[in-house]
Structure 1
Amino acid sequence: MIFAEHVKNKLSSLIHKMATAPWLFSKNPEVDFSRNRKLDFVSTIQFLLSMESGSLKKELLDYFQFSVDTPSASAFCQQRNKLLLEAFQFLFYEFNFCFSFEKKYKDYQLLACDGSDLNIARNPNDAGTYFQSQPTDRGFNQIHLNALFDLCEKRYIDLVIQPARLENESLAMTQMIDRYKGEKKTIFIADRGYETYNIFAHVQEKGMYYLIRVKDGGGGSMTGSFDLPDENEFDHDMQLILTRKQTKDVKAKPKKFKFIAKSSPFDYLDLYDKKFYTLNFRVVRFAISEDSYESIITNLPKEDFPVEEIKKVYAMRWHRNIVQGIEICYRIMLLSFKKGGVYH
């Protein structure tokens, strides 16, 4: 059996196992999916996973091979509306667990995080996803898809979907970090925009590692407030004590303390019991051309990941091979969504 068939059979087997307890995944457990129908629990899930960009009527005819008793579009909508969102979350996670994570880099699992907007079916009544530039415009709806991707295994291991108007990539990443139950030797990799102390702390609390590209100095950058070497390239160890307190001692030692405003999310501080939180990390700056530099913040150990290794690991986010970088795979996934349409 070829691997693709093995994967398909695993997915089908898992859906059938879920069908033995449909009440766990239904909005009305006592009645939903309790009667024999053409669109039962299994076929409803499988049909949703196989849908492309055609009309509902055409999709149903294709799926049921133009049978004379093909369910109507309204019948499908009724069945779909019985399903809980948790049904698909369960299927996603359990399907991932069916396959071991064996491919690693220097014994580390590499997980890259990224996000992108996707258009969905137009619904002006959905305030969280609906956009309208002008009152006379037809408008459109969008969701924001946040994904955690294993660079070595070439598969997505977690997703957070947000209404586009409520997009919060930092929150999504901390949620996926907290849910992750893998080994300690895991590196979370992300691009600019994810450089928040809250993300650093969530990874640190799990005893894992992060490698995040940040804006290279200047106003408004995280590194712009650091006391860094006056050199073009460096690998500098830092320790910051974060606090929401504004005492004289804190104000007098800006290189030691970092004040976190109440408006900035940070889950390990308050004004009473958790007044201080210590972060240890490296700021790595290296040239990528004669006059261009990148800055990375990481807590990876220097002995295992000197500057050259830091460069390699971050480059894997794009370039490890033609299908392995998250940027490439993410574009493939987005292209498949856009060709096939997104249904909800």
Structure 2
Amino acid sequence: MPNQVKKQLRNSITAVIKRDRESLIHNPSDFTRNRELSLDKTVKLILGMSGKSISKELLDADIWITESAFVQARYKIKSIAFHKIFKEFTLKIPINDSIPILAADGSDVNIPRNPKDEGTSFQVGEGNKPYNLIHLNAFYDLNTGIYTDVIVQDKRSVDERQAVIDMMEVSPF
């Protein structure tokens, strides 16, 4: 099943780029030269990133360019490109209003400073005041536009994958 989903996503990316190439980029001359990062490869790399540094993501993808070159390529792509790819990708999903389409994401949230809380307190450099962070993992229903579940974790013990599993296990769907 995961391989089918990946194949469908790759097919959707290819279809949108072939059909709407000119509407996805800022300048008609962007991505015309034969370079390491094509439009297709850049989009796939962006969608496949897992939160590591850009240099680590490029190494993992076996792409030998500078971080600056990647950032420049990324900014050539309009944000509408990702919306079109999402729409193309989800066309094949049977629409059923009783089953939500959920997005999962995590964000760091600053909380009041408490240097004694070892799970959330961070000290960057000597002489700087410590700060505290928690990590908020949430399910967002794309159909209704509301959050359906949330899990809060100490920043030092973040496990987004486990948070998604935990939210799925208690979900009525």
State TM-score, norm by structure 1: 0.33
1:119 equivalenced with 2:117 (yes/no): no
Q: Which runs of 5+ in 2 are unaligned?
A: 114-127, 152-158, 164-173
Deviation digits for residues 115-153 of structure 1 (CA, Å, limit 9, x no counterpart): 986139xxxxxxxxxx6968956788x9997721xxxxx
Higher RCO (CA < 8 A, seq sep 6+): 2
1:147 is matched with which residue: 121, 124, 140? 140
2:41 is matched with which residue: 40, 43, 51? 43
Question: Alpha carbons of 1:112 and 1:72: their partners in 2 closer, same or farther (altered >3 Å)?
Answer: closer
Query: Which protein is richer in strand relative to its size?
Result: 1
1:335 equivalenced with 2:166 (yes/no): no
Partner of 1:13: 11
Partner of 1:80: 74
Secondary structure of the equivalent of 2:107?
strand
Query: Counterparts in 2 of 1:155-304, with a 5 A limit?
Result: 157=142, 176=145
2:98 is matched with which residue: 109, 123, 146? 109
Query: Which protein is richer in helix relative to its size?
Result: 2
- Largest Rg, 1 or 2: 1
CA contact (8 A) 2:42 2:73 kept: yes
Partner of 1:52: 50
Q: Which runs of 5+ in 1 are unaligned?
A: 121-130, 149-156, 159-172, 177-189, 192-325, 339-344
Structure 1 position 51, deviation (Å): 1.6
How large is the Cα RMSD of the aligned pairs? 4.0
Tell me, in whole angstroms, the C-alpha distance in 2 between the residues paired with 1:337 and 1:36.
Answer: 41
Structure 1 position 110, deviation (Å): 4.3
Q: How many residues align?
A: 140
CA contact (8 A) 1:22 1:33 kept: no
- 2:73 is aligned with what amino acid? Q
- 2:61 is aligned with what amino acid? Y
Tell me, in whole angstroms, the C-alpha distance in 1 between the residues paired with 2:111 and 2:131.
Answer: 7
- 1:94 is aligned with what amino acid? E
Deviation digits for residues 183-213 of structure 1 (CA, Å, limit 9, x no counterpart): xxxxxxx78xxxxxxxxxxxxxxxxxxxxxx
State TM-score, norm by structure 2: 0.60
Tell me, in whole angstroms, the C-alpha distance in 1 between the residues paired with 2:52 and 2:139.
Answer: 26
4+ long deviations beyond 4 Å: 112-117, 131-140, 142-146
